[in-house]
Structures are given as structure tokens and as C-alpha cells.
Amino acid sequence: MLALTSATPLRPQRYLPSRQPPPNLLISIPSAASPGRITAVSVSPAAATSPADLDSATAAFRDYQLLFASQRSEAAEPVLLRPVRGSVPPDFPCGTYYLTGPGLFSDDHGSTVNPLDGHGYLRAFEFGEDGRCRYSARYVATEAQREEREEATGRWRFTHRGPFSVLRGGRRLGNLKVMKNVANTSVLRWGRRLMCLWEGGDPYEIDPATLDTVGPADLLGSYRVEPGRRQDGGGGGLGSVAVEIAARLLKPVLRGIFKMPDKRLLAHYKIDPKRKRLVMLTCNTEDMLLPRSNFTFYELDENYEVKEKREFTIPDHLMIHDWALTDTHYVLFGNHIKLDIHGSLLAVSGLHPMIAALAVDPTHPSTPIYVLPRFSQHTHQLRNWLVPIEAPWQRWSLHVGNAFEEMDAAGNLKISLQISVCSYKWFNFQKMFGYNWHTGKLDPTFMNIINEKEDMMPHLVQVSFELDAKGTCRSCSINDLSSRWKKPADFPTIHPSFSGQPNTYIYAASTSGRRSFLPCFPFDSVVKVNMRDGSAKSWSVVNRSFIGEPIFVPKGMEEDDGYVLVVEYAVEKKMCYLVILDARIIGEDEAVIAKLEVPKQFTFPIGFHGFWACR
């Protein structure tokens, strides 16, 4: 398989039929005869436009740009989707699949942003009792969205930098509009409320009937830490005093000048089906720049009343995106970061993305796992939770598929995490999704790096560790989820009723690896992993099509009794399809139960995270 390297980055062009093709592209690929040797190859764009050669560097760049093409139109009124294959099965549950993600990447004044800074675009697929599916889509009308879009003309001008982007057509030097709440990362329907969440601020509430934006939802405002209130942990000493002084100096700057909130509500939440609770996590904004991490967990019932609140201060510089929940613990997989002084100066100037102030910290040979108690009265309290379990390798944690605990008769507690991880050598804040802020283009080279000696790209693992009755760690192991599936994978999901308990199956987005120049990402397959025997079965879309995050829709109580929903992005046709897979028979030809076509005028870019809400 040919692997792209970042030695000579390709310079993608935004694909427009009326434009002339770009000049020949020079790429670096491993030599087939000598795998350790790098060979330069010139690729002609003319060949890429030929039907005989769709697997070329130019075709890869073109398809990648199309996958992230902006959609400025909204489907405010529900549109009936036409089946192009099969039909919605009679036993398909009534409910709505919500999918959120960025909808806009380029404005009308020359600026292009990282997908992470793209304005939130909420899509809804509603399945009714008549066995048909209706589609609607609206932009989340955040404060930044209302400011950057001219209501009268529909034109856009980016004024907020966003943490991951650099403006080209807007104000750069001295631009203090950094935290651009785009509500584009995840979506949640809990109780009677629908919300879109982002990583750096309050969620936005949405009207489930119309997808109109209600406004920002300050779910936890009255429950946040009062000034001067003592938090658990953290220790004392001169070091902690210095950090506290730095925190007090940073807070008014971040809040007053950069308009950042005191606390960031993370986009990933957990649902405890046993207790019927929504569990959410916040962290202090200033901790992004300090060797300290303050985490507060909130457990809410269906009326959004806080039933449990736990606060923890960890003397470590961490960045958490997703996390795990078990019956008695919160589990944080510690992603080490550090402050980049040089990058901070460039970021404040506006010449580099603001995220340049941070970098991954690869100096730690192991990965800390913080096991934090949910309830103060629970056993294993002799364990000092400030002391992490050190996983014997270094990996960056991305997404959690499931986590559960098992206790034996002697009181030993085993906790298992099923997660997607990647290498610190690959993870780079400034290059996520291949964003090149110098050119404003998306370069898939970064997302397709293969190293035969190491799994660089996201892949699925199970981390298990055992605590004795006193809380002492007796063992810790890390294993691939499947012994027969060695391909990149992410966005793990399971039957929701099995959340928090041992499971056999896990589903994820993965790759077939059949495209030489896009071997890892974007994903084009759904893989079903059987963790009992290590086997894996997959379903893949046709060439020049990709998929997003799969989501499980339960039908019965057996673990694979249900359907997997996934959006297929057919960039060749510039079309989107919602695909319904039978979870039991993924890997067989009959797995596709239905394929529903989204009208071409409403084709949308790839989404981030979704949510299934039964009626």
C-alpha cells in the first residue's frame, strides 16, 4: 500500500468545474523496491480526471475538498427522503437521528477555517409511523453565527478567529475574538430539551419541532464553584501557590479580554441508563495554560436537577476530549499537553492559530489514567485518586466506546475501557483534518500517514486494570480490540442498553484501505468487532464515497438486535445518503436494508457526532 508522507506536502485546490486543473503535484512515497527509501513522484492532474485513474493524488485532494464543501442552504421544512435501495423496515423504531457538525468553512471575503471552527449545522432524520424518513437542517444561530452572517444578503464575513484557524480576509493583528462558540461538536436530547454542544462554552438549545435556535443554555450556572470554595485534591506547597497566583492573574485576562467563560463544558457527555442520569464534565478555562487541571462532574436527572456533583483538582497539565463512566467511577485518560511559549506569542499576534499556544507533551513515557470516585461512600476509598494508574505506553485518547467494571468475591475491581487512541507522534493541534492555515486549504496528507513500526493513526484498543480491595493497582494491560483488524478506526459505538456493562460487539468507522492516496482517512467502512473471539466484519461504500460516525439504533434487548445508521458521502455524485444497516449481518451482502437519498441541493459536509432519540 502506498503511504503519503508530510515531507513534501501537497497543495490542494478547491474543486470547481470551471477552474483549470492544478499543475503537476510532487509527492513523496515509499519505494516499492526499497520500503525505507523515499521516492519523489510527479502526478499529472490530467490523469486524475480520466475515468481510468480515479486513485491519484489529485483525485484524492479533490475528493477531500468536496467532503468539506460548505452548505449555505437550510432545509427548514422537512423533506421526504426517497429510497434508492430497499426501504425503511416495518420494525424500525419511530424517532429522530440528530447529526451535528460544521456547515460552513469559507466566507465571502477570502477566509477559510479549520472544520473545528466551522459554524454548527444541525441535521435531523425523523422516522415516522408511516415508515418514511423526513430530513431537515438548520444552522445553530449562535452569537457568532448571527454576527458573521448578513441576514439581508446571506453573505458571510468571519470576524472571530476561532481557536484553530487564521483569517485571511478578516482582521488578524490584534483580533481578540478567539473563542467562537459554534455549537458544532455533539448533540443531545435529554428530557424534553435538545441541545448542540461545543468544547469551549455553554450549549445552545434547539426547538426539536422546528430546529429553531432557542438560545444558549446555562445548564450548570447555579451549580458552579463559588469563589473561594475549596476543591478536592491538588495538594499544597510553593508550587501549588504559584499556580494559584498565575490562575488568578489569567482569569480576568481570559474572561475580560478574550471573552472566555470561567468553565468550559466539554462536548462529550455520558448517560447512565441504570440511574437515568445525564453526566457532564467541566474544566477551568485557565487550566489550558497551567500545570493543573480542575474537573467538575455533574449528574442530572431528566428534569436537569443536579443529583451529584464532584470536584477534582489534578496537579497535571491535561487536555480531555472524551472520558469514561462506570458504575462507581469517572475515568480520565490523561492526554499530556504543555505551554508553547513561542507559539503563544505568535498566537496572540493573530499570525498563527490560537491553539499554537499549546502542544502535546511527549516527554512522559507512560499515559496516566485517573480513576475518580463518583460517590464518597463507595468502597476502594483507601486509594489516593491523585495517584494515576500508569498505562505502560504513550497514546492520545480520542473517543470512548464503552467502559465497565467487574468486582470479584474478594473485592478486587476490574475496570475496562474500549477506546480509540492515536500516537503522540501524529497528533498535532494545528493540523487537525489537514488544515493548512498558511494556504487555507485542507491537505489529506496529514490524515494519511502510515508507519509500519507503529500505529500512528486512530485505532481501537481495550485498556483494563485491576484494583484490589484497598485500591492498589495490581495490573494494567492494553490490547487491540480485534486481533484481525489492524486498520485505522474511530467513533466506536455500542447498543446503548449495554453501556456500562460487559459487551461483545462494538461498531466503528474504519477504512478499507483500497485507495492508495487516502488509505486511512476519510473513513469508508463500518466495522463490527467481536471482542470474544477477536473477529471483525465490515461493510464498505463504493469507491469515491466516504462515511461519518456510525450510530446504533436498538430494536430489541439482544446486543446486536438493531440497526446501524451512517451517512454516506458520495463525493463523485455530490450526494449524501442515509444508510440503514442490519447490525446482525454486517459483512454480508444483505446488510444494507435501505439507502435514502438526501436531495442534491441539501447535500451537506461531513458531520462530527450524532444522537438517536426515540419518540
Our CA angle for 529, 531, 536, nearest 5°, is 30
- Domain end, chosen from 48, 67, 86, is at 67
Residue-wise pLDDT tens digits, 188-244: 999 999 999 998 889 999 999 999 999 999 888 755 544 334 345 555 444 677 878
Give the phi and the psi of residue 416 in degrees, each rounded to 5: -125, 135
- Domain end, chosen from 67, 82, 111, is at 67
Quote the pLDDT of residue 344. 87
73 and 62 within one domain? no
Task: Report the distance separating Cα 505 and Cα 498, nearest Å.
Answer: 10
534 and 468 within one domain? yes
517 and 440 within one domain? yes
Answer yes or no: are the C-beta atoms of 148 and 111 closer than 8 Å.
no
Peptide bond before 353: cis, by omega within 30 degrees of 0? no
Residues 6+ apart with CB under 8 A from 135: 75, 78, 79, 80, 81, 123, 124, 125, 126, 578, 598, 602
3-state secondary structure 542-609: CCCEEECCCEEEECCCCCCCEEEEEEEEECCCCEEEEEEEEHHHCCCHHHEEEEEEECHHHCCCCCCC
Domain, as residue range, for 1: 1-67
b/e burial code for range 330-351 (CB count within 10 A of at least 16 → b) = bbbbbbbbeebeebbeebbebe
DSSP three-state, residue 387 = coil
Quote the pLDDT of residue 232. 55
* Whole-structure pTM value: 0.89
Task: Report the distance separating Cα 615 and Cα 93, nearest Å.
Answer: 8
- Cell representation of residue 475: 495490573
98 and 61 within one domain? no
Task: Report the distance separating Cα 460 and Cα 472, nearest Å.
Answer: 27
- Domain end, chosen from 33, 67, 101, is at 67
DSSP 149-163: B-TTT--B------T
Low-confidence ranges of the chain (pLDDT < 70): 1-53, 169-176, 222-239, 253, 256-258, 377-381
- Residue ranges of E strands in 468-547: 473-480, 489-493, 505-510, 525-530, 536-540, 545-547
Annotated binding site: 321, 399, 609
Our CA angle for 358, 364, 367, nearest 5°, is 95
What is the number of domains present in the chain? 2
597 and 558 within one domain? yes
| Displacement of CA 163 from its chain's centroid (Å) | 16
* Residue 416, strand partner residues: 404, 464
Quote the pLDDT of residue 377. 60
Task: Report the distance separating Cα 608 and Cα 399, nearest Å.
Answer: 12
Answer yes or no: are the C-beta atoms of 281 and 320 closer than 8 Å.
yes
- Cell representation of residue 304: 436537569
**Helical H segments across 207-252, by residue range:** 238-252
Give the phi and the psi of residue 251 in degrees, each rounded to 5: -55, -50
Answer yes or no: are the C-beta atoms of 419 and 397 closer than 8 Å.
yes
94 and 104 within one domain? yes
Quote the pLDDT of residue 258. 66
Answer yes or no: are the C-beta atoms of 284 and 268 closer than 8 Å.
no
Query: What does R_g of the chain's alpha carbons equal in angstroms?
Result: 24
Residue-wise pLDDT tens digits, 562-577: 999 999 999 999 999 9
Quote the pLDDT of residue 246. 78
Quote the pLDDT of residue 171. 60
218 and 154 within one domain? yes
134 and 11 within one domain? no
Task: Report the distance separating Cα 19 and Cα 146, nearest Å.
Answer: 32
284 and 253 within one domain? yes
Give the phi and the psi of residue 313 in degrees, each rounded to 5: -115, 120
511 and 464 within one domain? yes
Annotated binding site for Fe cation: 321, 399, 609
483 and 356 within one domain? yes
186 and 60 within one domain? no
Burial class (CB in 10 A: 0-12, 13-18, 19+), 613: middle
Q: Which among 476, 591, 602, 574 is positioned nearest to 17, based on CA atoms?
A: 574
